[in-house]
């Protein structure tokens, strides 16, 4: 590998204009992450006109900063207010918010920041070395492979919940059912829309997650306080201890690898990777019962993975010219406006742009870590605000955040509906996690499966004619059947 | 068109958008509250697609220029949903005072009605059309490695070809269905969620061909990874001068994406005219012309009456053709 352009890329990063825009990007990104609902894609759309007057590399450095900066910020609301702003920080809620309730919000935020930094940085190094090799591999993932991945993901959903297995499965089934709402993507038939036009594209992830987790939580807490139970968190340390770090080191390492690998896949990589990382940690743990009640690994793993995935999702864009998600599509558009066409020829034709953007991410991650440290203390202070004040403000932020996603009053009504549902679920011991994750994976599963069957002319055996989907499905069968076989063998030997 | 949920005037503009657009809006907004003066404040531009798509980018480029000419801010508000029908309903319910406009896709009024229930169909004649905007061509592409280079190649393939579409009831689906029917090629439509996934499926060899917008495909065509087989406009695109149209090759397939700016029915004619002037000033600007070049768009800046006539006749033509060839846009083949 020729190192000269890489080193020149660092030169590009150190130009004052680029330094400034990198800082600007990550600050905006962090704020966007903190505001639930408003995602990086919409922010970039609003800010796009500001980038027309600067150099292409400067513009993309800033836009990239917004994207990975938002991954840092998204954690903050997940931990403190139980409001996941992005699909990729849903799993962080389980242990992150539990830690906050125990007065260890600082620990959770600190671990998340460190994990995010390590995951992001490791991912940049891997991107620099492996990008061209991996690019070819990403194209091998078609509908059949996604079908197998989504199935694997839904199997993992069963392991992330903390309530009873049966209740988790019921919630997951409800999630799968909700995923079918909307105009059928293959026939145009309306399903469960009750003639409401806003439902024709199906339900959106944001109102569901924010209703179930955010509003549901608030309603439930209000009821608890009526009965005199206290939920106010004591704020102790504002930084993870050495023991916490030791405990999460493995999770951070594994999360980096998983996040990088899954982030390369077009569509949904960050969500899948955070879910997979959490499930892996829970599986490996000697004391899985701690998960959901404030296990630091449960924060470290998904937060590391989603940042690693955010970074590696640049690979398909910069090496194949394929945007992997909505935010990447925006950056793709910004490049086109600047007269740069992302594609296989970009590294050779415009090495300054390629390596300038890639290397700027190192700087951005350092800036985010530096910003996170003092801010952790500040954010934790939020928890000292009396619940009677904090609850209405949180509700307001939630409703406002949801409204900004699609400028839709209908979505506000949806949040309220799901808020009530979330409250009822909590009251009767159902976890919202499996429902939300099954909802996200359900639409992926349905569309991929039906697309695959169209490709195979209706023959399900086609899945096993493709190496990747075949391997994944065999693996899935082994994982699913292993406990059964184990039980049978034990029964025989008795 | 029945509007089931009466769209209310926005009383709660997205806070962040407002804050961020302050520096942009500082181009001399004379906010007088006189009822007779037009425009009497910001003109809202609705976009029925998510931020970042081509419709959104076109809307933003136009709003940018028209705001300068009108002397008021023109915030772009995205209300994605139902292929743009949500935003169309919202506009239909807005005050017909010229303070609300919408970027409308022709496919919503001339193709989507063939795939959805009659009460959901959007009719171009329910709006005051301010001006036509531009034409966005579809191109049929195959993976270069597949060796498929022309329509006869497809006919000779001798197997059921899988073609990726950008969704049910889109121009991408209609163009390919019509071509395959007329050329007698056996094919199966595989709907994807937009142009980028459809293109990825061709690059990854999961499908044989796809019809996608020129702007999305051009990078991969230039990189030599996709072969353009045909374009679906009436004339060859000046951005792909060597690729023949389907019409040239003997098939009557003319499907392009057109866009227009519309206002609610009943907007006073002098205000429609004032808005049209503002957009015409934008059309003439060097910056906007470069935007069209960058995004491979062909200007089609005709007046409102012609837009309504063209779009209505497209709908009639497509309806007749789908019936003639027995094509059902909704529903598996």
Which tens digits make up the pLDDT trace of B81-123?
888 999 999 999 999 999 999 999 999 999 999 988 888 899 9
Domain check: are B194 and B222 in the same one? yes
Question: What three-state secondary structure class fits B165?
Answer: strand
Query: Taking a contact as any Cβ pair under 8 Å apart, which residues of chain B between 126 and 185 contact chain A?
Result: 160, 162, 167-169
Suggest the residue from B49, B201, B206 to mutate for an interface test with chain A (most A CBs closer than 10 A): B206
With beta carbons under 8 A apart, name residues in chain A contacting B89. 197
- Give the closest-approach CA distance of B25 to chain A in angstroms: 12
pLDDT of residue B23 exceeding 60: no
Evaluate whether residue B232 is within a structural domain: yes
Produce one character per residue of A212-249: b if its CB has 16 or more CB atoms within 10 Å, e if not: bbbbbbbbbbeeeeeeeeeeebebeebbbeeebbebbe
Confidence of residue B178 (pLDDT cuts 50, 70, 90): very high
pLDDT of residue A144 exceeding 90: yes
For residue B105, which of B88, B90, B91 has the smallest C-alpha distance? B88
pLDDT of residue A338 exceeding 90: no
User: What's the pLDDT at B13?
Assistant: 40
User: What's the pLDDT at A415?
Assistant: 92
Check: CB of residue B196 under 8 Å from CB of residue B240.
no
- Give the closest-approach CA distance of A334 to chain B in angstroms: 9
Instruction: Average the pLDDT over A456-482 and give the result.
Output: 89
Last-in-domain residue among B255, B273, B293: B255
Count structural domains, chain B: 2
Confidence of residue B22 (pLDDT cuts 50, 70, 90): very low
User: What's the pLDDT at A38?
Assistant: 67
Confidence of residue A444 (pLDDT cuts 50, 70, 90): confident
pLDDT of residue A346 exceeding 60: yes
Q: Which two tokens stand for residue B260?
A: 């227009």
Domain check: are B229 and B143 in the same one? yes
User: What's the pLDDT at A4?
Assistant: 85
Domain check: are B177 and B312 in the same one? no
- Assess B333–A contact: CB distance below 8 Å, yes or no: no
With beta carbons under 8 A apart, name residues in chain A contacting B24. 49
Query: Taking a contact as any Cβ pair under 8 Å apart, which residues of chain B between 266 and 325 contact chain A?
Result: 291, 294-295
Query: Taking a contact as any Cβ pair under 8 Å apart, which residues of chain B between 216 and 255 contact chain A?
Result: 218-220, 222-223, 225
- Give the closest-approach CA distance of A20 to chain B in angstroms: 18
Q: Which two tokens stand for residue A273?
A: 């990777």
Query: Taking a contact as any Cβ pair under 8 Å apart, which residues of chain B between 1 and 30 contact chain A?
Result: 4-5, 8, 10, 12, 14-17, 20-21, 24
Confidence of residue A36 (pLDDT cuts 50, 70, 90): low
Instruction: Give the distance from CA A65 to its chain's centroid.
Output: 16
Last-in-domain residue among B255, B283, B300: B255
Domain check: are B177 and B248 in the same one? yes
Whether residue B78 and residue A42 make contact (CB cut-off 8 A), yes or no, is yes
DSSP secondary structure string for all residues of A278-313: HHHHHHH-S-GGGTTS--THHHHHHHHHHHHHHHHT
Evaluate whether residue B185 is within a structural domain: yes
Domain check: are B104 and B127 in the same one? yes
CA distance A429 to A424: 9
- Give the closest-approach CA distance of A346 to chain B in angstroms: 10
Mean pLDDT, chain A, integer: 85
Suggest the residue from A333, A446, A456 to mutate for an interface test with chain B (most B CBs closer than 10 A): A333
Question: What three-state secondary structure class fits A91?
Answer: helix
Whether residue B294 and residue A139 make contact (CB cut-off 8 A), yes or no, is no
User: What's the pLDDT at A39?
Assistant: 72
Q: Which helix (H) or strand (E) holds A128?
A: helix A105-138
Q: C-alpha distances in angstroms, B242 versus A264, B146, B172?
A: 35, 20, 21
CATH of residue B61: 3.40.190.150
Evaluate whether residue B1 is within a structural domain: no
Domain check: are B240 and B270 in the same one? no
Q: Which two tokens stand for residue A484?
A: 């059964």
B29-42: per-residue pLDDT in tens?
A: 344 334 468 898 99
DSSP 8-state code for residue B142: E
Question: Any idea which residue has 């569901």 for tokens?
Answer: A208
Domain check: are B117 and B181 in the same one? no
Q: Which two tokens stand for residue A261?
A: 């690998």
pLDDT of residue A37 exceeding 70: no
Domain check: are B222 and B306 in the same one? no
- Domain borders along chain A are 3-226+236-493
User: What's the pLDDT at A236?
Assistant: 53
Check: CB of residue B166 under 8 Å from CB of residue B192.
yes
Residue of B nearest to A45 (CA): B51
Whether residue A41 and residue B218 make contact (CB cut-off 8 A), yes or no, is no
Q: What residues make up the domain containing B180?
A: 137-255
Domain check: are B227 and B273 in the same one? no
Task: Please list, in sequence order, all residues whose beta carbon lies within 8 angstroms of the beta carbon of residue A290, skipping any fewer than 6 positions away.
Answer: none
pLDDT of residue A159 exceeding 70: no
pLDDT of residue B6 exceeding 60: no
Suggest the residue from A197, A325, A332, A338 to mutate for an interface test with chain B (most B CBs closer than 10 A): A197
For residue B262, which of B26, B80, B62 has the smallest C-alpha distance? B62
CA-based end-to-end distance of chain A: 60
Domain check: are B131 and B260 in the same one? yes
Pairing mode of beta strands B226-231, B127-143: antiparallel
Confidence of residue B27 (pLDDT cuts 50, 70, 90): very low
Domain check: are B75 and B117 in the same one? yes
For the purposes of burial, counting CB atoms within 10 Å of the CB of A373, is it exposed (0-12), middle (13-18) or buried (19 or more)? middle
Instruction: Average the pLDDT over B259-266 and give the result.
Output: 97
Check: CB of residue A327 under 8 Å from CB of residue A280.
no
Picking from A393-397, B253-257, B270-274, B294-298, which range would have the lowest pLDDT averaged per residue? A393-397
User: How many CA atoms does the CB half-sphere of B89 hold within 13 Å?
Assistant: 23
CA-based end-to-end distance of chain B: 29
With beta carbons under 8 A apart, name residues in chain B contacting A186. 168, 191, 332
With beta carbons under 8 A apart, name residues in chain B contacting A321. 219-220, 223
Last-in-domain residue among B255, B273, B298: B255
Whether residue A410 and residue B168 make contact (CB cut-off 8 A), yes or no, is no
Residue of B nearest to A50 (CA): B24
CATH of residue B173: 3.40.190.10
Produce one character per residue of A330-345: b if its CB has 16 or more CB atoms within 10 Å, e if not: bbbbbbbbbebbbbbe
pLDDT of residue A146 exceeding 90: no
Instruction: Average the pLDDT over B70-75 and give the result.
Output: 94
- Between B314 and A330, the more confident residue is B314
Domain check: are B248 and B147 in the same one? yes
- Give the closest-approach CA distance of A188 to chain B in angstroms: 5
Check: CB of residue B253 under 8 Å from CB of residue B175.
yes
Evaluate whether residue B332 is within a structural domain: no
Question: Any idea which residue has 């639409």 for tokens?
Answer: A443
With beta carbons under 8 A apart, name residues in chain A contacting B291. 337
Residue of A nearest to B163 (CA): A455
pLDDT of residue B149 exceeding 90: yes
User: What's the pLDDT at B234?
Assistant: 93
Residue of B nearest to A447 (CA): B192
Suggest the residue from A46, A140, A182, A396 to mutate for an interface test with chain B (most B CBs closer than 10 A): A46
Determine if residue B75 is left, alpha or beta; phi over 0 gives left, psi from -120 to 50 gives alpha, anything else beta: beta
Residue of B nearest to A329 (CA): B52
Instruction: Give the distance from CA A404 to its chain's centroid.
Output: 19
- Between B50 and B189, the more confident residue is B189
Q: Where are the beta strands (DSSP E) in chain B?
A: 44-47, 76-78, 100-105, 127-143, 161-165, 187-191, 209-213, 226-231, 256-264, 298-299
Check: CB of residue B251 under 8 Å from CB of residue B234.
no
For the purposes of burial, counting CB atoms within 10 Å of the CB of A389, is it exposed (0-12), middle (13-18) or buried (19 or more)? exposed
With beta carbons under 8 A apart, name residues in chain A contacting B204. 139-142
Cis, bond preceding A158 (omega within 30 deg of 0): no
Question: Any idea which residue has 């059928």 for tokens?
Answer: A184
pLDDT of residue A318 exceeding 60: yes
Q: Which helix (H) or strand (E) holds A171?
A: helix A165-179
DSSP secondary structure string for all residues of A11-77: HHHTSHHHHHHHHHHHHHHHHHHHSSS--HHHHHHHHGGGGTTS-HHHHHHHHHHHHHHHHHHHHHH
Confidence of residue B52 (pLDDT cuts 50, 70, 90): confident
């Amino acid at each position: 590998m020729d190192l000269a352009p890489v080193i020149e890329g660092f030169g590009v990063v150190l130009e004052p204009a680029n330094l400034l825009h990198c800082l600007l990007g990550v600050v905006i990104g962090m704020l966007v992450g903190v505001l639930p609902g408003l995602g990086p894609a919409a922010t970039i759309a609003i800010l796009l006109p500001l980038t027309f007057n600067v150099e292409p590399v400067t513009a993309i450095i800033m836009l990239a900063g917004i994207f990975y900066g938002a991954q840092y910020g998204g954690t903050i609301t997940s931990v403190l207010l139980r409001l996941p702003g992005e699909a990729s920080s849903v799993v962080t809620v389980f242990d992150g918010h539990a830690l906050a309730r125990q007065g260890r919000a600082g620990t959770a935020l600190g671990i998340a920041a460190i994990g995010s930094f390590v995951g992001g940085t490791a991912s940049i190094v891997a991107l620099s070395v492996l990008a061209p090799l991996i690019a070819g591999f990403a194209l091998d993932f078609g509908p059949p492979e996604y079908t197998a991945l989504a199935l694997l993901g839904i199997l993992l959903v069963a392991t992330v919940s903390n309530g009873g297995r049966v209740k988790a499965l019921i919630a997951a089934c409800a999630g799968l059912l909700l995923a079918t709402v909307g105009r059928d993507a293959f026939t145009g038939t309306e399903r469960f829309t009750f003639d409401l036009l806003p439902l024709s594209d199906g339900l959106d992830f944001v109102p569901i997650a924010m209703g179930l987790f955010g509003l549901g939580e608030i309603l439930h807490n209000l009821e608890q306080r009526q009965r005199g139970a206290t939920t106010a968190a004591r704020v102790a340390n504002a930084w993870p201890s050495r023991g916490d770090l030791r405990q999460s080191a493995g999770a951070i390492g594994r999360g980096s690898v998983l996040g990088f690998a899954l982030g390369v896949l077009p569509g949904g990589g960050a969500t899948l990777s955070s879910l997979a990382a959490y499930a892996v940690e829970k599986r490996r743990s000697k004391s899985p019962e701690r998960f959901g009640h404030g296990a630091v690994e449960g924060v470290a793993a998904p937060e590391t993975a989603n940042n690693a995935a955010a970074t590696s999702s640049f690979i398909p864009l910069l090496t194949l010219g394929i945007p992997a998600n909505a935010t990447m599509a925006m950056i793709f558009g910004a490049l086109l406006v600047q007269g740069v066409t992302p594609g296989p020829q970009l590294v050779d034709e415009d090495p300054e742009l390629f390596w300038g953007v890639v290397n700027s991410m190192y700087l951005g991650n350092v800036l985010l870590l530096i910003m996170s440290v003092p801010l952790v203390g500040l954010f934790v202070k939020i928890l000292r605000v009396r619940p009677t004040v904090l609850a209405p403000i949180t509700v307001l932020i939630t409703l406002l955040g949801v409204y900004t996603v699609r400028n839709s009053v209908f979505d506000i009504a949806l949040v309220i509906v799901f808020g009530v549902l979330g409250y009822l679920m909590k009251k009767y011991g159902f976890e919202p996690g499996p429902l939300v994750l099954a909802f996200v994976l359900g639409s992926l599963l349905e569309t991929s499966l039906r697309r695959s069957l169209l490709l195979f002319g209706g023959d399900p055996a086609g899945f096993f004619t493709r190496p990747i989907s075949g391997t994944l499905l065999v693996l899935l069968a082994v994982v699913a059947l292993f406990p059964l076989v184990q039980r049978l063998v034990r029964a025989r030997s008795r | 068109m029945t509007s089931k949920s009466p769209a209310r005037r926005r009383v709660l503009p997205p806070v962040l958008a407002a804050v961020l657009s302050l520096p942009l809006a500082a181009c001399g907004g004379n906010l007088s509250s006189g009822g007779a003066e037009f425009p009497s404040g910001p003109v809202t531009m609705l976009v029925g697609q998510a931020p970042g798509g081509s419709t959104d980018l076109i809307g933003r480029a136009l709003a940018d220029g028209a705001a300068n000419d009108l002397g008021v801010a023109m915030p772009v508000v995205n209300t994605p949903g139902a292929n743009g029908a949500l935003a169309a309903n919202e506009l239909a319910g807005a005050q017909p005072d010229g303070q609300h406009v919408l970027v409308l896709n022709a496919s919503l009024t001339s193709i989507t009605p063939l795939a959805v229930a009659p009460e959901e169909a959007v009719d171009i004649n329910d709006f005051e059309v301010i001006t036509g905007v531009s034409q966005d061509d579809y191109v049929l592409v195959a993976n270069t490695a597949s060796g498929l280079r022309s329509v006869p190649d497809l006919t000779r393939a001798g197997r059921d070809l899988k073609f990726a579409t950008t969704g049910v009831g889109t121009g991408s689906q209609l163009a390919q269905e019509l071509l395959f029917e007329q050329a007698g090629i056996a094919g199966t439509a595989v709907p994807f969620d937009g142009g980028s996934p459809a293109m990825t499926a061709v690059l990854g060899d999961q499908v044989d061909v796809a019809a996608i917008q020129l702007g999305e495909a051009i990078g991969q065509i230039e990189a030599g990874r996709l072969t353009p087989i045909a374009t679906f406009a009436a004339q060859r695109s000046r951005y792909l001068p060597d690729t023949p149209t389907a019409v040239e090759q003997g098939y009557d397939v003319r499907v392009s994406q057109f866009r227009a700016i519309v206002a609610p029915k009943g907007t006073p004619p002098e205000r429609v005219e004032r808005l049209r002037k503002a957009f015409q000033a934008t059309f003439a600007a060097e910056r906007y012309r470069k935007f069209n070049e960058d995004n491979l768009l062909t200007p089609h800046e005709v007046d409102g009456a012609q837009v309504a006539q063209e779009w209505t006749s497209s709908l009639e033509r497509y309806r007749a053709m789908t019936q003639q060839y027995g094509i059902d846009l909704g529903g598996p083949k």
